[in-house]
Amino acid sequence: MATISLWLLRRCRASGVLTYKTNNVRRCSQFSSSYQLSTATVGEKQAFDVDQAASLVKDLRNNFHSGKTKSYEWRVVQLQRIMRMLEENQKKIVEALYKDLAKPEPESFFWEISITNASCKLILEQLKGWMMPEKVQTNSATMSLSSAEIVSEPLGVVLVISPWNFPLLLSLDPVIGAIAAGNTVVVKPSEISSATSSVLSNLLEEYVDNSAIRVVEGSVAETSALLEQKWDKIFFTGGERVGRIVMAAAAKHLTPVVLELGGKCPAIVDSNVDLQVAARRITAGKWACNNGQICIGVDYIITTKEFAPKLIEALRNELEACFGKDPMESKDRSRIVNSSHFKRLANLMDEDKVSDKIVLGGQRDESQLQIAPTILLNVPEDSLIMQEEIFGPLLPILTVENLEDSIEVINRKPKPLAAYLFSDDEQLKTKFVQNVSAGGMTINDTRRHVFVSGLPFGGVGKSGMGSYHGKFSFDIFCHKKAVLYRSFAGDDKMSYPPYHTYKG
Ligand code: NAD
């Protein structure tokens, strides 16, 4: 755990958020809008219906057409306010995340606050350059005396729908991209992480321009009311089932969508690895981050029959190093988010052909919503645990005779959001990169590719469509408008009828 904490601390320093502070709310009165927010805090206020959704979108569209969100200055002020909001409310945010998921404070600090802060910081550094039209060569003879450029223009009014597992990061990170690109935006956080949803709603109302940036809280009814509206883009992060609902709703208006979905992320482990380092990195990628409730976590491992016992022993040691002798007592693991997810995970463990495959862990406590880090060896491929995304602390290990067969095992399944390989074999690395299709991959570690701001983050096939992070977050919320400037000189008669000068 010491290594993880140090690493977290280094990342936090790099992103510019260093100290925990108590809440110190500051209102930005110049931005408070006369429009009354029609948000529905579940169970407290009146439900948010289709009429209110229509009125909200109309309002935001008018404000978009006023042109205010297009200026560089407006975008910068909003991003600065978000950074200040994060800095001044760390304690409040950490508490809400603890309430929702028992998220350990260092994880909340790094994964939710610091990464969001780093996104703002990067955009603030680069935005001016990104907004500049990009010159394009016009090298054809018929285009002499012309110039061409790509203009990044905002799309208009966009909708962001987010999940419960990183409820701050996955709500704000797309919103930051939408603001950077000059859009007005509505964000609908998950009702399952209701404490963070409420904090986010209150804070954004206080800190940013409410005439262009809104939060709508709620669940299916509220999201359905929003989805009935015409948006210029919908950015959805969540599961495949709801992804289909979002895409069907968007199709009615020909609205483009980004779907950030999940799936089963594999990790192949070779026998030539530094076993202790590999086991530590797998442990971190599986259990030390939201207790396995992470879309890019290791869903299952493939290794050889001979190596599996050594790998399991190494994982046992690393688990003990991270979470102590009794992981059920550890404060360094989030809990399962709610009882329906607890039951879903228990069902995966209890299936007939699976329950006798547990080789480590298996303890559970429904009253605490806790399941111990659990390893299962050689579960059948047609079991539920190998058919659906696990999204929890269960880790099946499949074995193969020859490690190269692992690629075929992965390719029999839908394309994952992330894929991992632990190996020192250069040929195997090349084969893996060339033959496994996945949203992204890290070789010899887990999850780290998502921290490289120059790399796009998104899925492929069933794990999603579209990507963001870094400049991709700006581009995904822009239309890349093709613009050609012509001179009145240099006209070419061949281009106009009559065509009798044409020789073929
Ligand atoms: P979910 O699909 O159940 O919910 C996501 C959002 O959709 C929530 O805001 C929810 O209120 C809304 N929603 C739920 N049912 C709806 C319906 N019938 N109609 C309209 N809206 C509805 O996802 P979740 O359980 O919150 O999150 C877990 C899933 O998200 C996992 O599959 C995980 O892999 C995926 N995920 C992906 C990423 C990524 O970046 N690719 C990140 C985190 C989570």
Compute how many other C-beta atoms are within 10 angstroms of the C-beta atom of residue 267: 28
User: Does a structural domain hold residue 488?
Assistant: no
User: Does a structural domain hold residue 182?
Assistant: yes
Residue 209 Cα, ligand 1 centroid: separation in angstroms? 27
User: Does a structural domain hold residue 9?
Assistant: no
Give dist(CA 386, CA 82) in Å, integer: 40
Q: Which CATH number goes with the domain that contains 313?
A: 3.40.309.10
Ligand 1 contacts CB of residue 416 (under 6 A): no
Ligand 1 contacts CB of residue 165 (under 6 A): yes
Residue 121 Cα, ligand 1 centroid: separation in angstroms? 27
Q: Considering just the CA atoms, what is the radius of gyration of the chain in Å?
A: 25
Asked if residue 422 lies in contact with residue 267, where contact means CB atoms within 8 angstroms, the answer is: yes
Residues 369 and 303 in one domain: yes
* Residue range 283-312: mean pLDDT, rounded: 96
Ligand 1 contacts CB of residue 357 (under 6 A): no
For ligand 1, atom 42, the nearest C-alpha belongs to: 295
pTM: 0.92
User: Does a structural domain hold residue 341?
Assistant: yes
Give dist(CA 180, CA 477) in Å, integer: 8
Residue 44 confidence class, pLDDT cut points 50, 70, 90: low
Residues 204 and 77 in one domain: yes
Contacts for 433 with CB less than 8 Å, ≥ 6 apart: 441, 443
User: Does a structural domain hold residue 6?
Assistant: no
Instruction: Select from 188, 237, 337 the residue to mutate for testing ligand 1; criterion: most ligand atoms less than 8 Å from CB.
Output: 237
Residues 327 and 233 in one domain: no
439-470: pLDDT as tens digits = 999 999 999 999 999 999 999 999 999 999 99
* Residue range 81-85: mean pLDDT, rounded: 98
Contacts for 304 with CB less than 8 Å, ≥ 6 apart: 271, 399, 400, 401, 402, 403
User: Does a structural domain hold residue 502?
Assistant: no
Task: Mark out the alpha helices in 89-239 (DSSP H runs).
Answer: 90-101, 105-107, 115-131, 169-180, 194-207, 220-227
> Which three-class secondary structure string do you get for 297-311?
CCCEEEEECCCHHHH
CB-side neighbour CA atoms (13 Å) of 26: 11
| Nearest residue to 55 (alpha-carbon basis) of 186, 207, 249 | 186
Q: Say what angle helices 72-88 and 115-131 make with each other, to 10 degrees.
A: 170
Residues 471 and 433 in one domain: no
- Of residues 67 and 495, the one with the higher pLDDT is 67
pLDDT over 70, % of the chain: 90
DSSP 328-381: GG-SSSPPPSSHHHHHHHHHHHHSHHHHTTEEE---EEGGGTEE--EEEES--T
User: Does a structural domain hold residue 1?
Assistant: no
Q: Which residue has the tokens 């997810």?
A: 341
Instruction: Select from 168, 223, 229 the residue to mutate for testing ligand 1; criterion: most ligand atoms less than 8 Å from CB.
Output: 223
Ligand 1 contacts CB of residue 188 (under 6 A): yes
For ligand 1, atom 10, the nearest C-alpha belongs to: 190
Q: How much is the mean pLDDT over the chain? A: 91
User: Does a structural domain hold residue 118?
Assistant: yes
Residue 470 Cα, ligand 1 centroid: separation in angstroms? 23
Structure-token pair, residue 354: 């699976």
Residue 162 Cα, ligand 1 centroid: separation in angstroms? 6
DSSP 423-437: -S-HHHHHHHHHH--
Asked if residue 415 lies in contact with residue 266, where contact means CB atoms within 8 angstroms, the answer is: no
Active site residues per annotation: 260, 295
Q: Which CATH number goes with the domain that contains 256?
A: 3.40.605.10
87-133: pLDDT as tens digits = 999 999 999 999 999 999 999 999 999 999 999 999 999 999 999 99
| Number of domains the chain contains | 2
Give dist(CA 226, CA 249) in Å, integer: 10
Residue 244 Cα, ligand 1 centroid: separation in angstroms? 11
Residues 270 and 255 in one domain: no
Residue 344 confidence class, pLDDT cut points 50, 70, 90: very high
Domain range spanning residue 373?
266-457
pLDDT at res. 298 = 98
Residue 141 confidence class, pLDDT cut points 50, 70, 90: low
Residue 217 Cα, ligand 1 centroid: separation in angstroms? 14
358-412: pLDDT as tens digits = 999 999 999 999 999 999 999 999 999 999 999 999 999 999 999 999 999 999 9
Residues 253 and 281 in one domain: no
Residue 299 has pLDDT above 70, yes or no: yes
Residues 32 and 52 in one domain: yes
pLDDT at res. 18 = 34
pLDDT at res. 498 = 86
pLDDT over 90, % of the chain: 85
Residue 142 confidence class, pLDDT cut points 50, 70, 90: low
Residues 423 and 472 in one domain: no
Chain-centre distance for alpha carbon 156: 22
Residues 204 and 271 in one domain: no
Ligand 1 contacts CB of residue 119 (under 6 A): no
Residue 10 has pLDDT above 50, yes or no: no
Residues 57 and 123 in one domain: yes
Residue 8 has pLDDT above 50, yes or no: no
Compute how many other C-beta atoms are within 10 angstroms of the C-beta atom of residue 222: 22
pLDDT at res. 491 = 78
144-201: pLDDT as tens digits = 778 999 999 999 999 999 999 999 999 999 999 999 999 999 999 999 999 999 999 9
Ligand 1 contacts CB of residue 295 (under 6 A): yes
Residues 276 and 217 in one domain: no
pLDDT at res. 155 = 98
Ligand 1 contacts CB of residue 224 (under 6 A): yes
Give dist(CA 413, CA 262) in Å, integer: 13
Instruction: Select from 119, 159, 190, 215 the residue to mutate for testing ligand 1; criterion: most ligand atoms less than 8 Å from CB.
Output: 190
Residues 237 and 108 in one domain: yes
